[in-house]
Amino acid sequence: MKYKEIQKLSETERDKKLKELKLELIKSKASASKTGSKTREIKKIVARILTLNTSKKIEGAKTNKYGNMPKVRLA
């Protein structure tokens, strides 16, 4: 899944896809000896989704009265 495809998804769709990928990652780790490259690709997609979610949080944050961006806490 490419970054542009992820951008087109809504926030709820991204969360759903993230859960699916994490489950798939667990399954692929169980059979890691067979499909090592699949695990790597899943991790890359998860990282892309998390990066996009983080950038959306920062983008949506408002500046404070001094013009600085507030600190964004990532759970």
pLDDT recorded at residue 45: 93
Residue 11 or residue 65, greater confidence? 11
* Average pLDDT of the residues in 1-9: 87
Q: What is the pLDDT of residues 27-69, one digit of tens each?
A: 888 876 666 678 889 999 999 999 998 888 777 666 555 666 6
pLDDT recorded at residue 3: 85
* Average pLDDT of the residues in 1-27: 90
- Residues 69 and 58: beta-carbon distance below 8 Å: yes
pLDDT recorded at residue 18: 93
| Domain positions in the chain | 3-58
2-38 residues labelled b (16+ CB within 10 A) or e (exposed): eeeebeeeeeeebeebbeebeeebeebeeeeeeeeeb
